[in-house]
Amino acid sequence: METTGVVRRIDELGRIVIPKEIRRTLGIKDGASLEIYVEKDMVALKKYSTMNNLVEVANIYSETVYDTMKVELFITDRDYIISCPNIHKKKYLNKQISKFLEECISNRTKINEEEYKRLYFTEEDYLECNYIISPITANGDVIGLVILISEKKLGENEKNIVNIASQFLGKNVEE
């Protein structure tokens, strides 16, 4: 762990302010949740994702969909790609999502792109594909996205796969 050299005083309500530069560097937005860790005399903060508990389930779902339907399913939280098929793991897993995907989360956007189009997963990396994007909603908040991509034309089966995944993941976070 590296020091920043920044010292902050705790106010009478027990609050401290995380400097804007540090928040910007770490991608911590207003309203973000932070998880608190304590070890000996140290307190550490980590960006919290409600999707952390579902990574294993998301991976199993993603791989099962690929094995049975030969379509690729990506799952994100609000910041990162948390699950994708094995063929894309090195390139995309745990990478920060693109501004386009962030906007899909902010605007609760559902997309069914039936024409081959460029889809940016990160700011630098994209795939040319047909795709469906559906937000994952839990307790009224969008907590991530389910993205299905394919080289083939997408139909009702693919729409159903995405809808089931987004509803299933959202309900599991709520419980």
Rounded to an integer, what distance in angstroms lies between the CA atom of residue 42 and that of residue 83? 32
Residue scoring higher pLDDT (3 or 75): 75
Q: For 153-166, what is each residue's pLDDT tens digit? A: 999 999 999 999 99
- In this predicted structure, what is the pLDDT of residue 69? 87
Tell me the H-state helices in 20-147.
Answer: 20-26, 55-69, 89-92, 99-106
Is there a contact between 150 and 71 (Cβ–Cβ < 8 Å)?
yes
- In this predicted structure, what is the pLDDT of residue 175? 60
Percent of the chain whose pLDDT exceeds 90: 48
Give the pairing of strands 126-138 and 111-120. antiparallel
Rounded to an integer, what distance in angstroms lies between the CA atom of residue 155 and that of residue 139? 29
Residue scoring higher pLDDT (127 or 49): 127
The residue among 116, 114, 113, 82 whose CA lies nearest residue 97 is 82
Question: HSE (CB half, 13 Å, CA atoms) of 163?
Answer: 7
3-state DSSP assignment of residue 12 = coil
Mean pLDDT of the chain: 89
Rounded to an integer, what distance in angstroms lies between the CA atom of residue 125 and that of residue 6? 35
Say what the pTM is: 0.75
Question: HSE (CB half, 13 Å, CA atoms) of 93?
Answer: 12
Query: What's the one-letter identity of residue 112?
Result: N
Q: What is the DSSP string of 104-138?
A: HHHTT--EEEEEEEEEESSSS-EEEEEEEEEEEEE
Q: For 23-70, what is each residue's pLDDT tens digit? A: 887 778 787 778 888 988 888 888 776 666 678 888 888 888 888 888
Q: For 85-120, what is each residue's pLDDT tens digit? A: 888 888 999 999 999 999 999 999 999 998 899 999
Tokens of 138: 């839990």
Banded model confidence at residue 72, pLDDT cuts 50, 70, 90: very high
Spell out the domains of the chain, with CATH numbers in brackets. Answer: 1-48 (2.10.260.10), 52-174 (3.30.450.40)
- In this predicted structure, what is the pLDDT of residue 111? 96
